[in-house]
Amino acid sequence: MRLFRRKKQEIPPVSREQSLSTRPVLNRLVKVEHAADGNLLLHIPRRRSAMVESVSHFFRIPPYRKVALDELGSFVIELCDGSNTVEDIAEKLARRFRLNRREAEVSLGTFLRTLTGRSVIALVVGDRHE
């Protein structure tokens, strides 16, 4: 039982314009490999929990988890270099895969939320040259 609970930090709401102006950047600990099919394979570091540590005595658990991306995911990851905004990526995604702009933004937003939740990317706010 916890005697003290951490206060949950309130995250202020972000406008559409603010979220589209962020720049996704790939986590330096994530290794990117080109698979034979031309798509990308991500090597994502595992979080070392107490359970993983206890099981690792019996089984060899690799330090990285491999995630194979499809063509769309590979396209997006290659653009997460810090020089493209989310808006730029949505525009390129719409053109390349013949989506309307709204579909591209919604799909991209969902994918980027998943990637940030798994610490694959970070979203940088503001101009990259600041």
Largest CA distance in the chain: 54
Is the overall model pTM greater than 0.75, yes or no? yes
Which superfamily, per CATH, for 16-123?
Answer: Coenzyme PQQ synthesis protein D (PqqD) (1.10.10.1150)
Q: Copy the structure tokens of residue 121.
A: 């990317």
pLDDT of amino acid 130: 43
Task: Give the containing element (helix H, strand E) for 121.
Answer: strand 121-124
Q: Where are the domains of the chain?
A: 16-123
95-110 pLDDT per residue, tens = 999 999 999 999 999 9
59 vs 95, more confident: 95
20-40 pLDDT per residue, tens = 999 999 999 999 999 999 999
Report which residue type is found at 79.
L
